[in-house]
Amino acid sequence: MKLNFSQKLVIARVALSFVLLVALNFIPVTGWAKLLCFVIPYLIAGYDVLLSSVKNIARGQVFDENFLMSLATIGAFVIGEYSEAIFVMLFYQIGELFQNIAVAKSRNAISSLMELCADTARVEKDGELIEMLPEEVEVGSIILIMPGERIPLDGIIIEGTSTVDTSALTGESLPAAVTVESSIFSGCINLEGVLKVKVTKPYEESTAARILALVEESAEKKATSERFITRFSKFYTPIVVVAAVLLAVLPPLLLKGEWTEWIHRSLLFLVVSCPCALVISVPLTYFAGMGGASKLGILVKGSSCLDTLSKVDTVIMDKTGTLTSGKFAVTGVYPKGISAYELTYYAAHAEAYSKHPLSKAVCEMYEGSIDYERINDVHEYAGKGVASNVCGKAVRVGNAEFVGGEPLSVTAVHVSIDDKYCGYIELSDAPRSTAKDMIAKIKKLGVKHTVMLTGDRREIAEPLSKDLAIDDVKSELLPEDKVREAERIISKAEGRVAYVGDGINDAPVLMRADVGIAMGAFGSDAAIEAADMVLMNDSIEQLPYALALSRKVRRIVIQNIVFALFVKGAVLITGAFGIATMWEAVFADVGVSVIAILNAMRALRKLNLD
């Protein structure tokens, strides 16, 4: 990746300071002249550290890593260890450079989300096009979107066809085809044709604006281990300074030791004790994890969500739209007294004007074209069905009670013609093609218990759960029943509980679960706002990747903490007894930090679950 100016400047300062240090070791200078000569490369390498330390002391923030580095290196100068002082500062700057590069790399992984919003919108008014800020465009306005432009606001296409790049929102590389009446979302890119779009949401409620708001909020949600390290360093640093002072003073006073030797050991103690490896690597690991998630099309609302997800052993899932596609399809036609073609002909014509999902499925199944001139006197009865006149015949299409048929254990549209029952059309909401594989993968990752909650009848829910190998199923649930069932499962679970859903009625359960996971950036606003994590491309197959990533991040955090504490502890003990040198101390600080940072960056790597 390209380095910015400040990173290049640090490299130049480190290189210049190192060259001067090497040169000074070949120049025969002594006394004050030698001190002044060595101060020059020291200041080149560490003036910013000294300045930050002074500023923080003035603000009352004394005990931080800048203070420890300043104290240790100035102390080394006092006892005549000029080269060591400069090398400590050089290695510290190298460690900070690695940190900055790592943070920039992690930030780049999610930076595309910060570029979702278009700068302007081209609004059609009185036959003219006016460029406006997206924030100023009113709902109902007509906007024009040219090929190659980013879509500024959510809306419905009223003219034109095109393909749309949704990768910034969903992570899905394949463009989506759109045409008249298709919904399009802000943040996507129009690739081909000119589109006229009717705005359906104000800017602040648009998809891009909502996602940006969620990304900005995520930084405030710190993981438990992150908060622990922050609190730990506040108490740890003052204790280290006091211990270093005691190590420098007590042995010479009580044991008649050499002052220079024990001061040297105390300075070594300060260098080793700097908590950089922990303070830097733990937040960086979570940040890299969030960057890695965004590459997979997963929006994580803060490191605390990743931390909690890593401990999940129970996953609850909604059925419709989550485990299934949410789109009904005809699976059988069962006529009575008429042909199958006649049954589908009259059903499709009677349902032609209805927007109900079952009606749309019946019309899509009919292979002929709808003759709207043969349809009149249409009446739709909410929750029951449609009555209309088709070719002069009174046709009723709907549930068994409305039509006069026998109730069935499957989802069906019943049909009667001139008050005579003529059969039914069976429909089903098929499971997603990836659902079964997803269940197998999350179980392999350590999920012990899977549950499906649904409002559908038991006769529909149980066969689906068996087919997908789901451990438990609760059916015929009202929204409030889902909340109660989720609370019951949460109270009994050994670990944490995640809930995956996509609808408005899922929002209360998403909030009650330890981790709420919403399906799709284009799902219900309520579900997305209530969730802790959003699977942006509306694909349930992302769930195993989210689980695997969270567990990987937690493993890296634990590895870094254990490694840093072990190395520092070993060097502290050996340094106190005069065994370890300043070079081991530098490695225990900067070396450990660099290794921890490189380990943290593994969270950005692509996961392979196959």
- Other C-beta atoms lying within 10 Å of the C-beta of residue 477: 20
Nearest to 206 by CA among 154, 169, 157: 154
**For strand 496-501 and strand 312-318, is the pairing parallel, antiparallel, or unpaired?**
parallel
The pair phi, psi for residue 216, each rounded to 5°, is -65, -35
Whether the CA torsion 246, 252, 253, 256 is positive or negative: it is positive
CATH number of the domain where residue 169 is located: 2.70.150.10
- Report the distance separating Cα 50 and Cα 36, nearest Å: 17
Of 430, 464, 488, the domain-final residue: 430
Please report where in the chains the tokens 């730990």 appear, as a residue: 232
- Other C-beta atoms lying within 10 Å of the C-beta of residue 160: 18
DSSP state at residue 343: H
**Containing structural domain, residue 372:** 325-430
Of 395, 430, 465, the domain-final residue: 430
**For strand 312-318 and strand 449-453, is the pairing parallel, antiparallel, or unpaired?**
parallel
297 neighbors 215 (Cβ within 8 angstroms): no
Residues whose CB is less than 8 angstroms from the CB of residue 212 and which lie 6 or more positions away in sequence, other chains included: 113, 114, 116, 117
Helix axes 259-273, 65-78, angle to 10 degrees: 160
Residue 284 within a domain = no
Of 415, 430, 445, the domain-final residue: 430
Residue 112 within a domain = no
Residue 278 within a domain = no
Residue 47 within a domain = no
Please provide the average confidence, as pLDDT, over all residues in the chain: 82
In DSSP notation, 259-302 reads: HHHHHHHHHHHHHHH-THHHHHHHHHHHHHHHHHHHHTTEEE--
Residue 133 within a domain = yes
- Catalytic residues, which ones? 318
Distances (CA, A) of 301 to 14, 186, 536: 38, 20, 13
pLDDT above 60: residue 173: no
pLDDT above 90: residue 388: yes
Average of per-residue pLDDT across 351-365: 87
Number of domains the chain contains: 2
pLDDT of 168 reads 62
The CA-based angle 301-303-307, given to 5 degrees, is 115
Residue 522 within a domain = no
pLDDT of 221 reads 54
Each residue's pLDDT tens digit, 549-564 = 999 999 998 998 888 8
Helix axes 82-111, 276-295, angle to 10 degrees: 20
Average of per-residue pLDDT across 483-504: 85
In DSSP notation, 300-316 reads: E--HHHHHHHTTEEEEE
CA 82 to chain CA centroid, Å, is: 47
pLDDT of 262 reads 85
- Report the distance separating Cα 324 and Cα 402, nearest Å: 27
Residue 186 within a domain = yes
pLDDT of 472 reads 94
CATH number of the domain where residue 369 is located: 3.40.1110.10
Highest mean pLDDT among 11-25, 73-87, 332-346, 359-373: 332-346
pLDDT of 423 reads 94
- Report the distance separating Cα 348 and Cα 281, nearest Å: 62
The pair phi, psi for residue 379, each rounded to 5°, is -135, 125
Average of per-residue pLDDT across 195-208: 87
Q: Which of 110-114, 227-231, 511-515 has the lowest mean pLDDT?
A: 110-114
Each residue's pLDDT tens digit, 266-303 = 877 777 777 666 667 777 788 788 878 877 878 887 77
456 neighbors 443 (Cβ within 8 angstroms): no
pLDDT band at 215 (very low <50, low <70, confident <90, very high): low
560 neighbors 277 (Cβ within 8 angstroms): yes
Residue 161 within a domain = yes
On the 0-12 / 13-18 / 19+ scale of CB atoms within 10 A, 249 is: middle
Percent of the chain at pLDDT exceeding 70? 87
On the 0-12 / 13-18 / 19+ scale of CB atoms within 10 A, 281 is: buried
CA 583 to chain CA centroid, Å, is: 40
Each residue's pLDDT tens digit, 145-158 = 998 888 999 999 99
Residues whose CB is less than 8 angstroms from the CB of residue 230 and which lie 6 or more positions away in sequence, other chains included: 222, 279
pLDDT of 106 reads 56
Rg for the chain (alpha carbons), in Å? 33
